[in-house]
Structure 1
Amino acid sequence: VLDQSGKVLERIGDMGYGFATGQFAAPHGLCLDSNLSIYVAEVARTNMSHYTTPPDVLRSFQKLVKV
């Protein structure tokens, strides 16, 4: 999350690309709810499903906290 001058205020998720909990590979959407909680939509592994084994647990919703 950046301010208007580009200064980093907060970071969502872990640093870097990845498929682990808290990481993003290809985020597709972003929204805020009435409490100003941030939600990131991601559809991942759709183009890689033929090449990799899916994880044991697929999360459909996960609350991210400031790191």
Structure 2
Amino acid sequence: MGETTTGLVPTTVRGEVEGQDLIMWEQLTDAARSGLTNAGFAAPIIDEAFMPNLESARPSF
């Protein structure tokens, strides 16, 4: 498959995909939350950037 920017790779083969457990933010250790919050993933998904990005993606009619 080609490159993905979301980290998701689609599949059409059933039964060959291993599921992953969902981990809630509150279940992470303080160190893990801090690491994810302060990491530079080059993806503006931090709280302060979410609403401005959402607004800029909204179509203007």
Task: Tell whether the structures are fold-level matches, with TM greater than 0.5.
Answer: no
The structure that is helix-richer by fraction is 2
The structure that is strand-richer by fraction is 1
TM-score where L is the length of structure 1: 0.18
Higher relative contact order (CA 8 A, sep 6+): 1
